[in-house]
Amino acid sequence: PVLEDLDADVEEAAATLGATPWQTFTRVLLPAIYPALLSGFTLAFARALGEYGSVVFISGNMPLRTEIVPLLIVTKLEQYDYAGATAIAVVMLVTSFLLLLVVNLLQRWSHRRFEVRPGA
């Protein structure tokens, strides 16, 4: 929403005054989106901490029954098994990215398939 509210004329003015794309980003766009970016990061971090705390609190941590990945990573870190904790985290990260890719592809496919065409 912040970028949508920003006039394109501001970017064009920077370009006509000889600003490079990097200068336009750092001197025009970044100051405009910085407050929204900071508040978004803060809210996401707070939610992540709350989710982690609630999930760890609720889980029973019974081996092979109610173990959860965040608690498993913390356990590995407490045992100084940094390689094991990193491996679990990387697997979860790759899985998350793959799921996001699948969701994005499904949205694109459904948008194309069910798009309302004029005159139809």
DSSP H or E segment with residue 38: helix 30-58
Look at residue 23 in the predicted model and tell me its pLDDT. 92
Look at residue 66 in the predicted model and tell me its pLDDT. 76
In the predicted model, what is the mean pLDDT of residues 19-44?
89
Range with the largest mean pLDDT of 2-11, 23-32, 51-60, 63-72: 23-32
CA distance linking residue 19 with residue 10, whole number of Å: 11
Look at residue 83 in the predicted model and tell me its pLDDT. 96
Model confidence pLDDT, tens digit, residues 60-79:
777 777 778 888 888 899 99
CA-atom Rg of the chain in angstroms: 22
Give the least confident one: 12-16, 37-41, 95-99, 113-117: 113-117
Q: pLDDT category, 117, cuts 50, 70, 90?
A: low
Q: pLDDT category, 119, cuts 50, 70, 90?
A: low
User: pTM of the entire structure?
Assistant: 0.54
CB 33 within 8 A of CB 2: yes
